[in-house]
Amino acid sequence: MIATLRIQRGMPGAPPEETDFEVPFEPGQSVLDGLRWIRREADAGLAFRYSCLNANACKECMLLVDGKVGYACTLRLEARVMRLAPLPNKKLIRDLVTAIAPPDERLDRIAAGPKGPEA
């Protein structure tokens, strides 16, 4: 059986494209398992964000699955077409990655030196 992940890809400012990836389906897998399979077997450059793999501890893998917000690590892969897209209300970085860090932990906001903002 096959799960088809239809993934919205692209950079900010360009029209997004959808790419289909066919992933071997095993019952019990998570959507994140499918995304990691794609990186190993099809396209290592696919951009998505994750850290803790499986535990729903880091909360980094949040995305849109079939139009609803969810975590890739806790949503089950299903043997059908599943549409994945980046979070719509966050700044797009690339593919499924959006800027989810608090503003003061991001490069464009933090100061270069300890005394005041960067010149």
Query: Rule CB under 8 A: which residues touch another protein?
Result: 11, 26-30, 36, 39-41, 44-60, 71, 73-74, 76, 93-95, 97, 99-102, 104-107, 110-114
Tokens of residue 34, six digits: 């499918």
| CB distance 79 to 25 below 8 Å | yes
- Residue positions counted in the chain: 119
Residue closer to another protein by CB (options 20, 41) is: 41
Phi and psi at residue 102, in whole multiples of 5°?
-55, 145
The nearest distance, CB 6 to another protein, in angstroms, is 20
The nearest distance, CB 100 to another protein, in angstroms, is 7
**21 by DSSP, 3-state: which?**
strand
The nearest distance, CB 21 to another protein, in angstroms, is 14
